[in-house]
Amino acid sequence: MKQVKPEILEAFCLNILKKHGVESQCAQTVAHCLVDADLCGVSTHGVSRLAIYLERLDAGVVSKENRITIERESPAALVVNAGNSLGMPAAKFTMEKCIEKAREAGCCFATVKNSNHFGAAAYYTRLAAEQGMVGICAANLTSKIAPYGASEPYMGTNPISIASPGEEGAVVLDMAPSVVALGKLIMAQKLGKPIPEGWALDKDGHPTTDPAEGRKGSLLPIGGPKGSGLAIMIDILCGVLSGGKFGPHLHDLYGDMQNPQEVGHFIGAIDISHFVDVDIFRSGVAQMSREIKSLRPAEGVSEIFMPGEGSDNRRRKNLEQGISLPDEIFGELLAIGKACGVVFPEE
């Protein structure tokens, strides 16, 4: 493992993105989002994704420019066309617009079409929570989950995040409707490790512990019909409602270097002050947190955590101690930098 200061890692990624011709503000957003995921311990959505983003940029299937536009707008709704821009700037732009409009209308919801992979959904919902609002963010991806009762995939590992402000920090749910996010298979394959049985099926519908075979097949939904239903509803909000694509009509981040992904997002902000005093809300969330954490732990459990609490703890630790990157990932970053003339700075 290589220990890296987050600010150095972010500057390194930023310089690489700029060297590849990415517009400056977009590059800053992408670099910050990637390192933020690693700070939170979500390494599957961190700097390990930089290589595939660059591959798609260089292949010309993702715009290096900022082509994000608002197609339709009303007091509490937005329709955003990402214009095949990088997903992170598109999602951040949209959440910031939703926050701005929610201050007036009480809430604002937006669809985004013609976008790309946007990393960890929690990044965007935390933006709302930091402004005293409830944030909601979801995305659809190409087919990786088989609908309940089917033997082949249709919906993607469509993530959803909801974040609420509290007294000390945000309460943040960030989850995929599959047993694990696809990124865990990607990371396992990069590190040459097997995956637990129960995560994925191979292309013939058989359980597998080989991440490469699991990526060719399908991921299992959480709770059978419940996870399947959640994935379908996210696809409706992100794909159908946006006027974009959904399910197998989307294009794969890794397997298709000829076509844009064309993924969609559903993003919203709810201004708490339009419903209840923010301090009362924060106090209520704090009370709930105290009561949940004071419950008798189950056997073998030392502490009960609220959603997002583990990520916050890892963020604080990693800000102090630095981010630990597997040697394989750090070596990959060094090779990417060397290829475009960016040297990793000495700490």
Maximum pairwise Cα distance, the chain: 56
Q: Could you tell me if 315 and 289 lie in one domain? A: no
Residues tagged active-site: 117
Q: Could you tell me if 272 and 141 lie in one domain? A: yes
Which one is predicted more confidently, 122 or 214? 122
Q: Could you tell me if 159 and 269 lie in one domain? A: yes
Cα gap 209→204, rounded to integer Å: 14
Cα gap 47→172, rounded to integer Å: 21
Which residues contact residue 65 at a Cβ distance below 8 angstroms, ignoring those fewer than 6 apart? 23, 26, 85
Q: Could you tell me if 272 and 314 lie in one domain? A: no
Q: Could you tell me if 53 and 117 lie in one domain? A: no
Distance (Å) of CA 42 to CA 122, 138, 241: 10, 17, 29
Q: Please check whether residue 124 is in contact with residue 161, taking contact to mean a CB–CB distance below 8 angstroms.
A: yes
Which residues contact residue 215 at a Cβ distance below 8 angstroms, ignoring those fewer than 6 apart? 182, 185, 186, 189, 200, 254
Cα gap 330→323, rounded to integer Å: 11
Q: CA nearest 82: which of 251, 260, 258?
A: 260
Does 19 score more than 80 pLDDT?
yes
Q: Residue 4 belongs to a domain with what CATH number?
A: 1.10.1530.10
Which residues contact residue 293 at a Cβ distance below 8 angstroms, ignoring those fewer than 6 apart? 303, 304, 305, 306
Question: Tens of pLDDT along 232-243?
Answer: 999 999 999 999
Q: Could you tell me if 84 and 143 lie in one domain? A: yes
In a domain, 86, yes or no: yes
Q: Could you tell me if 157 and 226 lie in one domain? A: yes
Q: Which residues pair with 79 in a beta bridge?
A: 72, 111
Q: Please check whether residue 148 is in contact with residue 221, taking contact to mean a CB–CB distance below 8 angstroms.
A: yes
Cα gap 220→342, rounded to integer Å: 40
State the DSSP H helix or E strand holding residue 28, giving kind and residue range, or none if neither: helix 24-39
Q: How confident is the model at residue 347 (pLDDT cuts 50, 70, 90)?
A: low
Question: Tens of pLDDT along 108-132?
Answer: 999 999 999 999 999 999 999 999 9
Q: Which domain holds residue 167?
A: 69-178+221-294
Q: How confident is the model at residue 16 (pLDDT cuts 50, 70, 90)?
A: very high
Q: Could you tell me if 74 and 50 lie in one domain? A: no
Q: How confident is the model at residue 133 (pLDDT cuts 50, 70, 90)?
A: very high
CB-CB neighbours of 326 under 10 Å: 15
Q: Could you tell me if 232 and 266 lie in one domain? A: yes
In a domain, 10, yes or no: yes
Q: Could you tell me if 146 and 259 lie in one domain? A: yes
Least confident of 8-12, 188-192, 314-318: 188-192
Average pLDDT estimate for 323-337: 95
Q: Could you tell me if 134 and 169 lie in one domain? A: yes
Q: Could you tell me if 4 and 148 lie in one domain? A: no
Question: How many domains, the chain?
Answer: 2
DSSP 8-class letter at 103: H
Q: What are phi and psi of 48, to 5 degrees?
A: -65, -20
Does 107 score more than 60 pLDDT?
yes
pTM of structure? 0.93
